[in-house]
Amino acid sequence: MAIKEIDVKLFSKMFLAGAIYLDRSKEEINELNVFPVPDGDTGTNMTMTIMSAAKEVRDLGEEPDMKSLCKAMSGGSLRGARGNSGVILSQLLRGLTKAVRDEQVITVPLLGAACTKAVETAYKAVMKPTEGTILTVARGMGEKITELIENGEDDLEVILPAVLEHGYKVLDQTPELLPVLKQAGVVDSGGAGLMKVVQGAVDLFSGKEIDLTISDDPIAKVDDSRPGKIEDVQKNIYHAEIKVMLSKNVNSKLESDVKSYLNDIGDLKSFKVSGSEVNIDINTDDPGLVLQKAIKFGILSDVKVTCRLEGSKAKEAADSAAPAAAPEPKGEPTEFGFVAVSAGDGLAEIFRSLGVDYVIEGGQTMNPSTADILDAVEKVNAKTVFVLPNNKNIIMAANQARDLTTDKDVLVIPTKTIPQGITAAINFSAGSSADENEQAMVEAIGLVKTGEITYAVRDTSIDDHEIRKGDYMGIGDKKILSVGTDMNQVVVEMIAEMADDSSELISLYYGADVTEEDANALKDLIAEKFNTLDVDIQNGGQPVYYYIVSVE
């Protein structure tokens, strides 16, 4: 007998199974890094992203309703998203859940539509989509399920294994679409991570016994800093009715975006636009966030917030919430503030000396989550906050945090390296507007060339270099520039590839595993080899990378 639908309970278990499969395979995914560096983190990033959602799903219990389940999957993964692969995974889940959250069961046609929506949402989140990545694998599976449905197949026991098999075929083709994968002899790591999620879901659906226990170990811990969150008592404990006198027109796109946001932070009962008024009716855990969104439309003319819990239950909820310290008065916000991401005490101190208000500990070896960046932005008392990700794998999470911020303007400067971030901060002018500063910083970082020195964790051949495990590598902005067994020689050869007639300054930031004596000896060698350029050296204290070098 054909199986033609998935109920809420089964959908929840399939999601948890997918999360667990990915968690079990994270080190395998990490090892698929194109460059043989000791910081492969795709598996870790994707696992921390999905486990953020899995914990929220677990906390719903064994009988969730579809809307609560979808909110936990989407909201948890959005806040917990780390790295580009994690952000794309969160967007896939966001699109999937948006398509099914108002239904009681997932039928075959609905599943097809949801997969299409998931792929569309993920592609829209990426400014310049690249084929041969997780996006390609997701699209391939979406196209396969559409093809099966259009050909009349309506049995999920046939559809799901067929889609899984096709996904693996697409994954195997990623090296043909992305030459750097072929040269390194690996498939796309993000796509491989996605297949682990789908494999777990399909195995659970097919009857395989899977332990669905979600632990609270560090890799699975949810980074949820929302104030006053009540666990295991009742969700959305406040009922808010808000009336706004409009000061701007509410078009269909704006209305859709606002409804989506409100659904992410609560259970939106109604959102009605009538003449010059908007009426919002919602159950939520944080009515303050609703008010912050509503006030952007105009003047609050009527606000009514009530607690939905009665007597002893309200007391139980209050008692279960950790007492929060009274916040310090913030005073009047400044015009501009800065958040930067960096790893290493020396680099953090450099950013603070340049006027950065909040430094997030992280970088190449540990990408901060969307929630980490949101929390940092919240701590900066400024009308406009510039975010310096300082890593290409953090920019998407920063953009996601920007889109979720409602009470201040956030501008993400797309700094891909630490030296670019330092240059951006140096080029800030307090007397210029936000737009002028953004333009000046973006132009300035385009003139910075960055190189990093680390070691190889495996033998490989890439960028015309034969690399052996343990070799030192000089990695430039786009490719490996030098390889060898003498670290100083590798640095010199890397700089020779970076410098040209327009170069004026070489800056070295030495890491935690380099002594000051060795760093100064290298500085003298560089000054001798490149005697027409100024050479500056500072203690960065960064892990993994012996030196970060910039040429400007």
Is 429 a domain residue? yes
Percent of the chain with pLDDT over 70: 89
At which of 414, 445, 476 does a domain end? 445
State yes or no: pLDDT of 322 exceeds 80: no
Q: Which of the four pLDDT bands, split at 50, 70 and 90, describes residue 352?
A: very high
Tokens of 191: 């796509």
461 and 504 share a domain?
Answer: yes
Paired residues of 452 in beta bridges: 475, 548
Query: pLDDT for 268-306, tens place per residue?
Result: 888 888 777 888 889 887 777 777 677 667 777 777 888
Give the DSSP per-residue string, 337-356: EEEEEE-SHHHHHHHHHTT-
95 and 243 share a domain?
Answer: no
At which of 190, 205, 220 does a domain end? 205
Q: Note the pTM of the prediction, 2 decimals.
A: 0.74
25 and 61 share a domain?
Answer: yes
Q: Which of the four pLDDT bands, split at 50, 70 and 90, describes residue 218?
A: very low
183 and 54 share a domain?
Answer: yes
Query: pLDDT for 358-372, tens place per residue?
Result: 999 876 667 899 999
Q: By the 8 A CB rule, do 344 and 390 touch?
A: no
Range in 159-163, 206-210, 343-347 the model is least confident about: 343-347
531 and 463 share a domain?
Answer: yes
201: CATH: 1.25.40.340
Is 131 a domain residue? yes
Query: pLDDT for 55-65, tens place per residue?
Result: 999 999 888 99
Output b/e per residue, 257-286; b: 16+ Cβ within 10 A: ebeebbbbbbbbeebebeeeebebebbbbb
- Specify the amino acid at residue 494: M
Range of the domain at 298: 238-308
What integer pLDDT is reported at residue 447 of this predicted model? 93
Length of the chain: 552
Q: Give the strand pairing for 334-342 and 298-307.
A: unpaired
Q: Which of the four pLDDT bands, split at 50, 70 and 90, describes residue 257?
A: low
Cα 16–chain centre separation: 20
157 and 300 share a domain?
Answer: no
- Write out 503-524 in H/E/C secondary structure: CCEEEEEECCCCCHHHHHHHHH
Task: Output phi, psi for 472, to 5 deg.
Answer: -85, 145
Q: By the 8 A CB rule, do 99 and 114 touch?
A: yes
432 and 463 share a domain?
Answer: no
Question: How far, in Å, CA of 368 to CA of 358, rounded?
Answer: 13
What integer pLDDT is reported at residue 221 of this predicted model? 35
Is 350 a domain residue? yes
35 and 135 share a domain?
Answer: yes
29 and 145 share a domain?
Answer: yes
H/E stretch holding 463: none
Is 317 a domain residue? no
196 and 253 share a domain?
Answer: no
């667990």: which residue's tokens?
Answer: 20
Q: Which of the four pLDDT bands, split at 50, 70 and 90, describes residue 474?
A: very high
Q: By the 8 A CB rule, do 273 and 255 touch?
A: yes
479: CATH: 3.30.1180
Compute and round to an integer the Cα radius of gyration of the chain. 25
- How many domains, the chain? 4
Query: pLDDT for 145-176, tens place per residue?
Result: 999 999 999 999 999 999 999 999 999 999 99
